[in-house]
Amino acid sequence: MKKSVAIISFLSLLVNLYAQSQDSVIIRRIFDEALTSRAAYENLRYLCKNTKGRICGSPQAAEAVEFTSQVMLDMELDSVYLQELMVKRWVRGMNEEAYVISSLFGFHELTISGLGTSVGTGEKGIIGKVLEVQTFDDLEKLGTENIKGKLVFFNRPMDPTLINTFAAYGGAADQRTRGASEAARYGAIGMVIRSLTTALDDFPHTGVMYYEEGIPKIPAVSVSTIDAEQLSRLLSGDPDLHLHIISNCKNLDEVTSHNVVGELKGTVYPDQIITIGGHLDAWDTGEGAHDDGTGCIHAIEAVRLLKDLGIQPKRTIRAVMFMDEEIAQRGAKKYAELARENNEKHYAAIESDRGGLTPVGFGFTAAEERMEGFLQLKEYFKPYGITEFVRGGGGADIGPLREFGATLISFIPEMQRYFDYHHSPNDTFEQVNIRELQLGCAAIAALVYLIDKYDL
């Protein structure tokens, strides 16, 4: 009896080893195909160069919907369709200008960018003394008597000592998202933030901001980090200097837009869905290359790799181009709403929204008993330098799928350079390296293959 148990377990070990080596061969084929195809890179080039300015609700966003659905139709996926939704429409308008006027230092132009959903200044602009602060607590200490009628300048940098740049971003982003209302609460007439980037450069970084109900809406702009330092220096020499800001951005009526979905039907459990998503909308000042053209292309190319290599997943694999991640995540909400309506089963979802830089790993949010299985996948990826399999995954677009019990997964690329590009005119196609992009596509395809095969 004991002997036969020993034989069986020896045999199952052999079977496991054999399966593992087969998997390694298939993963190698996925990487080889990705690394010898220019498809992903050329699709990204088109998206960046032909739909630049694709903030949600824009004609360029509609073109991006058109383009990505055409790409997936050309791939002859099992189905390609749109999900209709309404999105906010904010336009930047022309001419964004800012000038320092100082009786001591003269006249200095600053490089600025209006923040998403901000009101404009009106034709003549706004002009006032500048009050530099670091935090909302500073505002409270200064109070209305010191703030009223002035422009508040938030100059707290992203913490450069944090290795996780996303954590540094998270620690500074409140200035952008809530700074205007916090300043207006004390009577400020405008708000300027130091760009949220780890770089010291001349690019203003935009991004969404929100007005708090019941507080006057004041114009909000970002200034490049070089000019933030300059403004701070000038202020320390001349606290009476004035800043003149002109912006023409405005909020228009909501318009119709779409998520784009391409599906590879599952052979065994077609009703179970694995979503691979990026977001199609992007800030208008750049080309939306790393944020998040690469995420969309990762999703499309991962599905192409599985299909063209003849890998037939048991579950349905969806590439989803979410609309409106940047402003109100309406695409994510619509996707979850339709999933609920259609009683869909969401098995797992992977989001790529951290740029198209060298892949280093994946983060997972899953039931604890499933976690060990995910963390062990690391072995398969070691040959490709992808070694960080960690707890904690998700993203703005796939987050709502947690209610369906889906495992949420973040694609994690190298993160030291991402904020050089994020939300700025520097986020262009030229900043994406073809091999880094290809490796990301292959990594995601390989992960989907393993999760699906081993029912993780």
Question: Residue 96 or 291: which CB sits closer to Zn ion?
Answer: 291
Question: Residue 313 or 355: which CB sits closer to Zn ion?
Answer: 355
Question: Residue 157 or 295: which CB sits closer to Zn ion?
Answer: 295
Number of chain positions touching Zn ion (CB under 5 A): 3
**Residues between 217 and 236 with contacts to Zn ion, criterion CB under 5 A:** none
> What strand order describes the sheet that includes 79-91?
79-91, 250-264, 315-322, 269-279, 345-351, 407-413, 359-365, 388-391
Beta strands 242-246 and 126-133, pairing class: antiparallel
**Residues between 106 and 145 with contacts to Zn ion, criterion CB under 5 A:** none
247 close to 285: Cβ distance less than 8 angstroms:
no
Q: How far is the CB of 416 from Zn ion (least distance, A)?
A: 17
Region binding Zn ion by CB under 5 A among candidate stretches 39-47, 148-156, 347-355, 426-434: 347-355
Question: Residue 247 or 294: which CB sits closer to Zn ion?
Answer: 294
**Residues between 272 and 331 with contacts to Zn ion, criterion CB under 5 A:** 291-292
Question: Residue 45 or 422: which CB sits closer to Zn ion?
Answer: 422
Q: How far is the CB of 312 from Zn ion (least distance, A)?
A: 31
C-alpha pair distances (Å), 425 with each of 40, 105, 203 = 22, 29, 6
Q: How far is the CB of 423 from Zn ion (least distance, A)?
A: 8
Q: How far is the CB of 396 from Zn ion (least distance, A)?
A: 8
Question: Residue 353 or 452: which CB sits closer to Zn ion?
Answer: 353
Q: How far is the CB of 168 from Zn ion (least distance, A)?
A: 16
Region binding Zn ion by CB under 5 A among candidate stretches 24-32, 74-82, 138-146, 350-358: 350-358
Question: Residue 289 or 306: which CB sits closer to Zn ion?
Answer: 289
Region binding Zn ion by CB under 5 A among candidate stretches 240-248, 304-312, 352-360, 376-384: 352-360
Secondary structure string (H, E, C) spanning 23-56: HHHHHHHHHHHHHCCCHHHHHHHHHHHHCCCCCC
Q: Is 102 left (phi over 0), alpha (psi -120 to 50) or beta?
A: beta
| Per-residue interface string for the shown chain with Zn ion, residues 31-50, x marking contact by CB under 5 A | --------------------
**Total residue count of the chain as it appears in this document:** 456
Q: How far is the CB of 97 from Zn ion (least distance, A)?
A: 27
Question: Residue 33 or 324: which CB sits closer to Zn ion?
Answer: 324
Residue type, 92: R
Question: Residue 190 or 293: which CB sits closer to Zn ion?
Answer: 293
Q: How far is the CB of 285 from Zn ion (least distance, A)?
A: 14
Question: Residue 55 or 218: which CB sits closer to Zn ion?
Answer: 55
Distance CA 154, CA 167 (A): 19
Q: How far is the CB of 135 from Zn ion (least distance, A)?
A: 26
Instruction: Tell me if 353 contacts Zn ion by CB under 5 A.
Output: yes
C-alpha pair distances (Å), 15 with each of 10, 29, 105, 139 = 9, 21, 77, 66
Q: How far is the CB of 325 from Zn ion (least distance, A)?
A: 5
Q: How far is the CB of 332 from Zn ion (least distance, A)?
A: 12
Q: What angle do CA 376, 406, 390 make, to 5 degrees?
A: 35
Q: How far is the CB of 190 from Zn ion (least distance, A)?
A: 27
Q: What is the DSSP string of 170-234?
A: HHHTHHHHHHHHHHHTTT-SEEEEE-S-SS-SS-----B--PPTTS----EEEE-HHHHHHHHHH
Q: How far is the CB of 125 from Zn ion (least distance, A)?
A: 30
Region binding Zn ion by CB under 5 A among candidate stretches 197-205, 247-255, 269-277, 349-357: 349-357
**Residues between 383 and 412 with contacts to Zn ion, criterion CB under 5 A:** none
Residues 6+ apart with CB under 8 A from 119: 217, 218, 219, 249, 250, 251
Q: What is the DSSP string of 411-454?
A: EEE--SSHHHHTTSTT--GGGS-HHHHHHHHHHHHHHHHHHHHT
**Residues between 142 and 161 with contacts to Zn ion, criterion CB under 5 A:** none
Q: What angle do CA 262, 264, 268 make, to 5 degrees?
A: 145
Q: Is 207 left (phi over 0), alpha (psi -120 to 50) or beta?
A: left
Which secondary-structure segment (H or E) carries 7? helix 2-35
Question: Residue 96 or 351: which CB sits closer to Zn ion?
Answer: 351
Question: Residue 89 or 290: which CB sits closer to Zn ion?
Answer: 290
The phi, psi pair for 139, rounded to 5°, reads: -65, -45
Residues 6+ apart with CB under 8 A from 378: 361, 386, 387, 389
Distance CA 284, CA 297 (A): 19
In the complex, the residues that contact Zn ion under the rule CB under 5 A are 291-292, 353
